[in-house]
Each structure stands twice: as C-alpha cells, then as structure tokens.
C-alpha cells in the first residue's frame, strides 16, 4: 500500500522542553471531529487520507511530511532489510552511540516484554512495538520512570484551517535511550520501533561481552496493546514456566537459554554489566538458600525454580560448563524470540 498525494501539510510537535520531533507510535484518544479514511489495497495505487471537521469540511491531505503524520495514521512500515545492508549497519552504529553497559539490561528487558506477549495458538502478540501501549501494566514496572506528553497539530493550507490536537505519550526510561538514535536513522531510512528494539537488544548483549547477534528487519509496528497476562510471572514454578514458554513456541532448552539474560542487570548474578555464563554457575550454588543477607536476594523465584527441575537442571549444568554453548544457544533463541508473531513489510 502506498501513501497518496494531494495538498501539503505542515506538522509541528511540541514538548515541555521545546519543539522536538517525536518518532514514537502514537497513543491517543480519537477526536470526535476527525476521521481517517483509507482506500483498500485494490483501489487506486495511492492511499487517500481525509480529515473531516465537525462542520463536515473534507479535504485530502498530502503526506508531505510523513514522519510527523505517523502518530495520526499509523506507523510507517520499515523497508525489509537484512543484516549486512547499509541500513542495518546504520542502525547498529546509531544504537552504539547511545547504548552503554549500564543501560544494556533495561534495553534487553524491553525486548522480552515486547516479544513475550506472543501466543502460538492464535498467532497474536509478539515483537510488534506494542510495549509503548503497555507501560501501565504491573509486569512492566520499571520500564516507565517518567512520562511526558506532547502534542501534534496538523494545519491545512486552505483558508478555513482545521486544527487537530492529539496527545502522544513518549516512550520513557529505557526506550528513551533509543530516541536519539531513531531520529538519526529515520532521517535516512524510516525504521519501526519493533525493529529498533530488536536490534538494540542484540547490541546490548554484545556491548556487555555477549555473542554478536544479527536480526533481519522489516517488522511492522502495531497501533494497539497486546492482550494482558501473557508475560511469565516472576512467581511461576518450573512447570508453569515451561507451560508458559511452550505457549509461545519455545522448548525447555530455549527457556533456560533465554533466562540467561538475567546474567546482566540487578538480579545479582555476577557482574551487572558482563554478559557471560555466571547466571548458571550461581544457580547451581543456590545462594538464596542462605539465611538472610544479600545472597538471599539473588534472583527471582522463577530463577530459583529452574534449578529444582531435572529437565532445566540438565541445561543449566551444560551452560555452566560451556559459555560457548550458552552463547550459541542464546543467540539462536534470541533470533527466534524477536521473530515471534512478526508481521513483515511486503514492499
């Protein structure tokens, strides 16, 4: 589907700190006086978008400044790009400019919470940028430290100007580290937030000493939140974890491999900024069984549960013995994770 052309549109975005461009998918309440009408794919070669006012004025608007209109009409699909392409390398380069070891764990968590909503039975959820609409959910606590609102105004060039004001929520905290990079990339090649987060998570692993991971691009962003209650709860036992991951198409081995992401961050497994196999070595030591003190606070109940399950324990021992095996299996499971439920651009 291509975007059509008619009359020019000026677009400005204001924030509390001044006029800056906001590239996040919109979260807004539909106005009672504005509608967006789309032609079907089998209509003319262009997509027409019409904005109608309360006085029934209609007019076609030109998508002259498309990035500014994304919050109103949807997210621009990223052109399909493969690892090694100049566009892919550009994304990696810009992400590395804003990503530090201290921010890596938070960025990697964004990947798991975006892709982790996938359900294999109905093929809903998955890596689609829906995390931007789900920040109020309890399971996403910590992903939102501060939220600032900004507004978008569209102005036609007709004498009777129709102004539309929409509130857009910026992606806070961990996603904010990617804002600067995405702005630079979009100026050259528009990229979806699903792609941005998928690549950033891979870079977060590598910047902390983990394996290089390449992911293909072309994911489409959604405009609605995914169903609730799909992320694995921290209190699940091993049986519950395996059932949850199975519903997403992952084996027990992949569950254990992906759990190794907890090796970085504040969970207490080794260095918080070193991606290695310390997670599995610490699991075998079971420091949380100590009475009181910091050791008892290491890991989540779901982490502790893995080592009590024979099937999981077999893989924990393998990864504790071989960091190379862990790296290889994590890399493969990560690629599968960020491809879960993906709708790709067919252009």
pLDDT of residue 346: 64
Name the residues annotated as catalytic.
Answer: 113
d(CA 286, CA 116) in angstroms, rounded, equals 27
- Mean pLDDT across 102-110: 90
The secondary element (H helix, E strand) that includes residue 39 is none
The domains found in the chain, sorted by start residue, are 10-207 (1.10.520.10), 238-332 (1.10.420.10)
> Any binding-site annotation on 77?
no
pLDDT single digits (tens) 142-157: 765 422 222 232 333 3
Q: Quick one: which of 15, 70, 18 has its CA closest to 186?
A: 70
CB 213 within 8 A of CB 327: no
d(CA 106, CA 337) in angstroms, rounded, equals 17
Instruction: Look up the pTM and report it.
Output: 0.70
pLDDT of residue 71: 34
CB 72 within 8 A of CB 166: yes
pLDDT of residue 254: 98
pLDDT of residue 72: 29
pLDDT of residue 87: 82
CB 68 within 8 A of CB 152: yes
pLDDT of residue 81: 56
- Mean pLDDT across 214-241: 94
Residue, of 242 and 296, whose pLDDT is higher: 242
CB 114 within 8 A of CB 175: no
314, pLDDT greater than 50: yes
> Any binding-site annotation on 25?
no
d(CA 194, CA 172) in angstroms, rounded, equals 16
d(CA 232, CA 139) in angstroms, rounded, equals 9
d(CA 210, CA 200) in angstroms, rounded, equals 13
pLDDT single digits (tens) 262-279: 999 988 998 999 999 999
Neighbours of 247 (CB within 10 A): 14
> Any binding-site annotation on 117?
no
Q: Which residues pair with 166 in a beta bridge?
A: 152
Q: What percent of the chain has pLDDT over 90?
A: 47
pLDDT single digits (tens) 10-44: 333 333 333 333 333 333 333 333 333 333 334 43
pLDDT single digits (tens) 171-215: 445 556 777 788 888 888 888 889 999 999 999 999 999 999 999
d(CA 230, CA 22) in angstroms, rounded, equals 29
pLDDT single digits (tens) 242-263: 999 999 999 999 999 999 999 9
């Amino acid at each position: 589907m291509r975007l059509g052309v008619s009359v020019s549109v000026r677009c400005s975005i204001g924030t509390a700190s001044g006029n800056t461009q906001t590239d996040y998918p919109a979260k807004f309440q539909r106005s009672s006086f504005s509608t967006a009408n789309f032609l079907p794919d089998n209509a003319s070669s262009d997509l027409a978008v019409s904005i109608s006012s309360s006085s029934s004025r209609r007019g076609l608007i030109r998508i002259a400044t498309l990035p500014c209109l994304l919050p109103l009409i949807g997210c621009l699909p990223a052109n399909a790009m493969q690892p090694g392409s100049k566009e892919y390398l550009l994304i990696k380069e810009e992400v590395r400019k804003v990503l530090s070891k201290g921010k890596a764990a938070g960025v990697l968590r964004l990947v798991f919470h975006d892709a982790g909503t996938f359900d294999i039975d109905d093929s809903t959820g998955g890596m689609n940028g829906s995390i931007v609409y789900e920040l109020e959910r309890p399971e996403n606590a910590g992903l939102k430290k501060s939220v600032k609102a900004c507004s978008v105004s569209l102005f036609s060039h007709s004498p009777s100007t129709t102004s539309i004001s929409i509130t857009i929520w910026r992606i806070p905290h961990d996603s904010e580290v990617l804002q600067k990079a995405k702005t630079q990339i979009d100026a050259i090649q528009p990229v979806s937030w699903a792609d941005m987060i998928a690549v950033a998570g891979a870079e977060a692993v590598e910047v902390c000493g983990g394996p290089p991971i390449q992911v293909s691009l072309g994911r489409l962003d959604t405009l609605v939140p995914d169903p609730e209650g799909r992320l694995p709860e921290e209190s699940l036992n091993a049986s519950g974890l395996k059932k949850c991951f199975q519903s997403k198409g992952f084996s027990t081995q992949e569950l254990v491999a992906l759990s190794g992401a907890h090796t970085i961050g504040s969970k207490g497994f080794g260095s918080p900024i070193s991606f290695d196999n310390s997670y599995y070595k610490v699991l075998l030591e079971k420091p949380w069984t100590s009475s009181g003190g910091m050791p008892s606070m290491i890991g989540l109940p779901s982490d502790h549960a893995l080592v009590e399950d024979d099937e999981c324990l077999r893989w924990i021992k393998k990864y504790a013995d071989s960091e190379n095996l862990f790296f290889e299996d994590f890399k493969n499971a990560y690629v599968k994770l960020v491809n879960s439920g993906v709708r790709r651009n067919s252009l």
